[in-house]
Structure 1
Amino acid sequence: MTGTELAREALPRRIMRRISRLLGPRGVFLEGFLEHPVMVGSIIPSSRFTITKMLAPVKWGECKVFVEYGPGVGTFCRPVLSRLARDGQLIVIDTNPLFIDYLRATISDSRFSAVLGSAADVEDIVRAHGHDHADYVLSGLPFSTLPDGVGPAIASATHRVLRPGGAFLVYQFTAKARDFMAKHFTRIDSGFELLNVLPCFLYWGWKDTPADE
């Protein structure tokens, strides 16, 4: 590729970055979506209605380690931190360095850790932060469009890392995510949020306790 061709390819990226700065967090989210649409799954962040309903079943008094896959620009991060115990920890995992850099620059809470990596490696990531399990895991990753094998690997690793009684919280634009969860979680509560762009399905997969088994 010639220097002229490289310059032409870089031009839209420069324009996109300028637009992102003007739009603030939503601009960063848009840029991340345009770069990796398969991994982001939405062109704008979730609504406050989705956030409230998604987090409602969490027993915050029993939550010390909360993990989020695909945090984007932190739409869920701040609500989670506002509910999380003072000695708790929020670990977010994303494969997009744009989002990770943005979160590290804008969230200074000592309970917050942003990790550039794959959700399939959640067990190693949680252990690296000094914990042997997570209490809750939240995901907005588009399971139905992830590369082959990635969705099942994430669902399996999530079930293993959760403590008994913990839950996998998933919000999606299609109902297919439930199929990935059902292979590991016997109890899955479901909901739907119309006041979101796009309207989305909500799932809470609960890991059985010894008494349940």
Structure 2
Amino acid sequence: MESHLNTTLTRSRRSLADRASRTFGKFGVFFRGFMEEPGMVGSIIPSSRFTINRMLAPVDWDNCRLFVEYGPGVGTFGDAVLAKMRPDAHYIAIDTNGLYVDYLKDSIDDPRFTAVLGSAADVERIVREHGHEHADYVLSGLPFSTLPDGVGPQIIRATHDVLRVGGAFLVYQFTAVSRDLMRARFTRIDSGFEPLNILPCKLFWGWKDAE
């Protein structure tokens, strides 16, 4: 009985998600992805332009050759990043949800952009496979508080290792869990807060300084 109820609820949720994606376009796709994997999507609503601008403000675009994003969703940050990037720079977006990856491949027509189906924990391998040794900046909206046990620290460790010296890990969250995890590898973390977002969110920039 319980199994049948769970199956019915799952089908109902998927039906709702499908209708939303068809009716509301980009935002419908975002909502559908949230409904399918709520534990892997940070919010039911994409980030505001205020959050985007503040999060990207410290980036030195003139010296950014590779920008990586975890959990890009439907590309909320994509246009802003591509508008600021150098013509010869590259942007790799990594997501575990094939729905989002397919949407990004279909909707972003820019040779500098690559959408990858995979885990942020494998960022070092993904970066190497795309012809790079290091990333200059890594952006993440992953919900560290709901990731499976052990995955958060693994992502933090891999991110620190893949960054060049002087690069930064840019994180936006509703809680401070990510900052607490970042402290294990990043000795310098700047913090901010953006109230003009649904929900208001915490911003963190972890800098990779020379040892």
Q: TM-score, normalised by structure 2?
A: 0.94
Change (3 A) 1:8 1:137: closer
Measure the CA separation in 2 of the matches of 1:126 and 1:172. Answer: 24
Change (3 A) 1:25 1:93: same
Q: Does 1:46 align with 2:47?
A: yes
Instruction: Name the SS for the 2:192 alignment partner.
Output: strand
Q: Does 1:83 align with 2:68?
A: no
Q: Select between 107-116 and 12-21 the one with higher mean Cα deviation.
A: 12-21
Change (3 A) 1:6 1:169: closer
- Residues 105-116 of structure 1 correspond to what in structure 2 (within 5 A)? 105-116=106-117
Alignment correspondent of 1:143: 144
Q: Does 1:175 align with 2:176?
A: yes
- Residues 189-200 of structure 1 correspond to what in structure 2 (within 5 A)? 189-200=190-201
Q: Does 1:125 align with 2:133?
A: no
Q: Select between 113-122 and 22-31 the one with higher mean Cα deviation.
A: 22-31
Alignment correspondent of 2:3: none
What fraction of aligned residue pairs are identical, expressed as a percent? Answer: 67
Q: Does 1:202 align with 2:189?
A: no
Measure the CA separation in 1 of the matches of 2:190 and 2:11. Answer: 46
Alignment correspondent of 1:56: 57
- Residues 15-54 of structure 1 correspond to what in structure 2 (within 5 A)? 15-54=16-55
Q: Deviations over 1:107-154 (max 9, x none)?
A: 010000000000000000000000000000000001111000000000
Measure the CA separation in 2 of the matches of 1:8 and 1:57. Answer: 44
Measure the CA separation in 1 of the matches of 2:34 and 2:13. Answer: 15
Amino acid at match of 2:100: F
Cα RMSD of the aligned pairs, angstroms, is 1.7
Measure the CA separation in 1 of the matches of 2:184 and 2:100. Answer: 30
Measure the CA separation in 2 of the matches of 1:41 and 1:63. Answer: 26
Q: By how many angstroms is 1:6 displaced? A: 7.6
Measure the CA separation in 2 of the matches of 1:150 and 1:8. Answer: 28
Amino acid at match of 1:93: I
Measure the CA separation in 2 of the matches of 1:59 and 1:96. Answer: 29
Q: By how many angstroms is 1:16 displaced? A: 2.4
Q: Does 1:97 align with 2:98?
A: yes
Contact 2:13/2:35 (<8 A) preserved: no
Amino acid at match of 2:193: F
Q: By how many angstroms is 1:21 displaced? A: 1.6
Q: Deviations over 1:69-94 (max 9, x none)?
A: 00000000111000000000000000
Contact 2:121/2:155 (<8 A) preserved: yes
Amino acid at match of 2:129: A
Instruction: Name the SS for the 1:24 alignment partner.
Output: helix
Q: Where has structure 1 moved over 6 Å in runs of 4 or more?
A: 5-8
Structure 2 gap segments, 5+ residues each: 1-5
